[in-house]
A and B are shown apart, each in its own frame.
Chain A
Amino acid sequence: DIQMTQSPSSVSASVGDRVTFTCRASQNINSWLTWYQQRPGEAPKLLIYTAATLQSGVPSRFSGFGSGTHFTLTINSLQPEDFATYYCQQADSFPYTFGQGTKLEIK
């Protein structure tokens, strides 16, 4: 199975900051990488698919980059509603696997 590793596990930031999260795959997954946001008590929400394509309705301050084994999610100008946990998931092969998540907290 493909292992997904996210870093950092948590980060503190302020409204208006720019933050970047990293996700690494244990083998080449081309661009088959999806990012999700999960707020407490809610189901996950798809933000970005195929590494860099923004899902309809997702604000443009979110962006994704990468291919192969190294991927990043960047949020520009953090808003209060962005404080949540972010997960990457490889969609290259079954079983799909998630990273362990990065929790974004308010400083």
Chain B
Amino acid sequence: VQLVESGGGLVQPGGSLRLSCVVSGISFNSHYMSWVRQAPGKGLEWVANIKGDGSEKYYVDSVRGRFTISRDNAQKSLYLQMSSLRVDDTAMYYCARDLGYSHGYGLGYWGQGTLVTVSS
């Protein structure tokens, strides 16, 4: 089982970044996928998720309108397009797959994260 994130880095406030997550070893197409972030020394914050067929997307208020979650089931890949980045978006970003086929059973599989730093 592997979830491998990429695309993090240093970006200036107001800039954009696109995160990717490639999944292998587990089913992908039928499960909700999420992005969760963790600011340095802080707790976990759920950011967004997307249904298996891409038909439903949900966001935390602090990123709605700035971040867009998407997926490519043929490539078993998850994405997070981030724009109008702010200093408080600085965090480790994890991708995670729901444990069950329907939501409610938590995030059972996690990547190791990709670090996003927003600074001038």
Contact = CB atoms under 8 A, between A and B. Distances in A.
A98 B46 CA distance: 7
Contacts, number: 64
B105 A91 contact: yes
A8 to B, nearest CB: 14
Interface in A62-107: 87, 89, 91-92, 94-101
A49 B99 contact: yes
The binding surface of chain A is classed by DSSP as: loop
B5 to A, nearest CB: 10
Contacts of B40: none
Interface residues of B, number: 23
Nearest to A30: B104
Interface string B80-104: 0000000000000010000100011
A56 B61 CA distance: 33
A50 B60 contact: no
Interface in B44-71: 44-46, 49, 58-61
A46 to B, nearest CB: 5
16 contacts: A34-B106, A36-B106, A36-B107, A43-B94, A43-B111, A44-B36, A44-B44, A49-B106, A50-B104, A50-B105, A55-B99, A89-B107, A91-B105, A91-B106, A94-B103, A101-B44
Task: Kindly list the 10 A-B residue pairs having the minimum CB-CB distance in the complex, ordered from nearest.
Answer: A34-B106, A94-B58, A43-B110, A96-B46, A49-B106, A98-B44, A101-B43, A49-B105, A91-B104, A95-B60
Interface of A: 1, 32, 34, 36, 38, 43-46, 49-50, 55, 87, 89, 91-92, 94-101
